[in-house]
Structure 1
Amino acid sequence: MPLIDDIRAYRAFNKQEAADRAVILRQLECDPHVFDRDSLAHMTCSIWTVDPTATRTLMVFHTTYGSWSWIGGHADGERDLAQVALRELEEETGVINARIVPCGPGNIFSLEVLTVDGHDKRGRYVSSHLHLNVTYLAVASPDEPLRIKPDENSGVRWFDLNDALDASTEPWIRNRVYRKLLDKLRAANPF
């Protein structure tokens, strides 16, 4: 099933998801370049990775944002965002044996529209834009070896779920997104 159909079938968890779902659908319906990062609002994905007991989550210290963060990246033309998310997980952390947890249409765990302020990246200025983000839930073993991706992060580690909130220095992401992901994880009890 195409991603747009999965998002249409997705049931919003809260007001933020309902509003953001409408924005994402509108862009998917009207922008033929929505999967390319050159579009002002473009598709991205994240992967909220937990251990098998769902008591810890894997995070990276994101260089651009100067904060502990979830893992994710741009679609860059690809439409299978679950595969993009798994690839980003491997590239950013070294984890290779994660599995996406089934949780609804297209295994979508969460939806977000994320604002990105203008910033320098690899010697070039990137203008402010929107990430139309699809989040997947994955489980991985904390015994897998971890490694950083020096051009994107300077740390990779497992956090107790509540400590993950405290580690984020981005108030909106911490309070609106990471808190929501923890609430959804506890409500869904997917394990």
Structure 2
Amino acid sequence: MNREWLRSEIEKYHTPYKEEEKYKGRFLDLLFFDNCFERSLLSGHITASAWVLTSDFNQVALLHHKKLDRWLQPGGHADGDENVKRVALKELQEETGITDVSLIGDSFFDIDIHSIPQRKDVPEHDHYDIRFAFIANKPEQLKKNEESNEVAWIAIDELEQHVGNDTSVLRMKEKTLKL
């Protein structure tokens, strides 16, 4: 997996969600920047995350992010790594302790562009997030790290109580219910 793989996958990605369809062009434009996988591209950069489910698809692993004060799926910056699946797996392991997973499907599960507020000397910018869906083969591996207030298995039917109206997370819930 590299930049060209990602470009190809985004070009052929079909989604019934209008917001994702709009994101495709922005992702493809971003991929022309040499440093799009680096935080040094201050307007926005590629990130990757993991939507991790129990084998029955009834629960998802989420963390309550300290800096953002929100429940989110594990994920983070590519920091130069063009293999976004590897980035998602690295972030998953660092943020939840989960290492034994199986990919659902043969590509990414969802794409999203969301704004990150200004923090210290880093201006507000966009995260162009590539999201992979996984099944946790050993859900008992779940544990919190220092970046989170909490990490937990959240029941899919109770997701709104944790994420409110976060449309991107709720979109992944809808997709999960169709698996």
Same fold (TM over 0.5): yes
The offset of 1:102, in angstroms, is: 1.4
1:13 Cα offset (Å): 3.0
Identify unmatched segments of 5+ residues in structure 2.
none
Q: Partner residue of 1:82? A: 85
Answer whether contact 1:93 1:156 (CA < 8 A) is retained: yes
Q: For 1:108, what is the secondary structure of its paired residue?
A: coil
Please list, as runs of the form range in 1=range in 2, the aligned pairs for 1:165-184 lying within 5 A after superposition.
165-168=160-163, 171=165, 174=166, 176-184=167-175
Q: Aligned pairs, how many?
A: 175
Residues 135-189 of structure 1, C-alpha deviations (whole Å, 9 max, x = no match): 1001104642322121x112111010122221125x4xx2x111111111122x1
Q: CA 1:25 to 1:143, structure 2 compared with 1: closer, same or farther past 3 Å?
A: closer
The residue type paired with residue 117 of structure 2 is D
Alignment partners' CA distance in 1, 2:177 and 2:87:
25
In structure 1, C-alpha distance between the alignment counterparts of 2:52 and 2:139, rounded to whole Å: 13
Distance 2:175 2:27 in 1: 20
Aligned partners of 1:141 and 1:2: how far apart in 2? 27
- Within the alignment, does 1:58 sit opposite 2:49 as a pair? no
Cα deviation per residue 1:84-113 (whole Å; 9 max; x = unaligned)?
10111110000110122115xxx1101111
Selected match of 1:11 from 4, 10, 14: 14
1:91 aligns to 2:82 (yes or no): no
In the other structure, the counterpart of 2:135 is: 139
1:138-157 map, 5 Å: 138-141=134-137, 143-150=139-146, 152-157=147-152
Matched, 1:164 2:155: no
Tell me if the contact between 1:48 and 1:138 (Cα under 8 Å) persists in the aligned partners: yes
Give yes or no for contact 1:49–1:139 (8 Å, CA) kept in 2.
yes
Q: Is the 8 A contact 1:57 1:159 kept in 2?
A: yes
- Alpha-carbon RMSD: 1.5
Unaligned runs of 5+ residues in structure 1 are: none
User: Which of 27, 30, 48 is the aligned partner of 2:30?
Assistant: 27
State percent identity of aligned pairs.
Answer: 23
Alpha-carbon distance in structure 1 between the residues aligned to 2:62 and 2:137: 13
C-alpha distance in structure 2 between counterparts of 1:136 and 1:143, whole Å: 17
SS in 2 for 1:183: helix
Contact 1:21 1:112 in 2 (8 A): no
1:42 is matched by which residue type in structure 2? H
